[in-house]
Amino acid sequence: MTGVVSVLFGREDIRQRIEELGRTITGDYQGRAPVLISVLKGGSMFLADLLREVRLPASIDYMALSRYGDAPESMGRVRIVKDLDADIGGRDVIVVEDIVDTGLTLTYLLSVLASRSPTSLEVCTLLDKSVRRITPLEIRYVGFDCPDLFVVGYGLDFEERYRNLPDILAVHDVQALSADPDLLLPYVTGELAVTDPTAAPSAGS
């Protein structure tokens, strides 16, 4: 299966970057109590790890969105499947995303949240596929800039699979994965390992 996937961002790189993001957010929001809002499901893992690096009286809330389809005419039209539990009026809001691609989903979400009069509204995304952006967006916190490749792992899925991979993998043969969506299962079970160039050398090597 060589060549189908490679490690794009290894678990240790992810952990370190989230620590840095948490430190930055902690500094930027001193004296405030931000609410971190995650968009289900992909962003939930990132939120869980980021939250533990934010040393503030922070709270969390979740929203679930569904796209009307990928047809161009549905341009960013999104339906709220699950709304927030709490009112964000007068709150400092940080939207936590796994990945921003075209930006259509986030543009819609930000317009909905802005209409509820938060004190501030910022975005923190782990991955930014900035080359794919259709709608210009101001993203305050970015983990990594992401090349124009399909990625899975650390919350990111292909047909609901592979969210539990601890590393973020780039899929180089999307056609092979579409033909067999279970193609990468050996990486989930541990039967196969993707070589992580950032991983520490194992003992004895």
Binding site residues, ligand IMP, CB under 6 A? 42, 98-106, 150-152, 156-157
Q: Pick the catalytic residue: 13, 92, 98, 101? A: 101
Q: In the bound complex, what is the minimum distance in angstroms from residue 11's beta carbon to ligand IMP?
A: 17
Contact 165, 187 (CB under 8 A): yes
How far apart are CB 11 and Mg ion at their closest, in Å? 20
The 150-169 site mask, x for binding Mg ion (CB under 5 A), equals: -------x------------
Q: Before 82, cis peptide (omega within 30)?
A: no
Q: How far apart are CA 128 and CA 139, in angstroms?
A: 9
Listing DSSP states for 159-181 in one string gives TTB-TT-SSEEEES-HHHHHH-T
Judge whether 101 counts as a catalytic residue: yes
Pairing of strands 168-171, 92-100: unpaired
CB of residue 142 to ligand IMP, shortest distance in Å: 13
Nearer to ligand IMP, 33 or 131 (CB): 131
Give the active site residues.
101
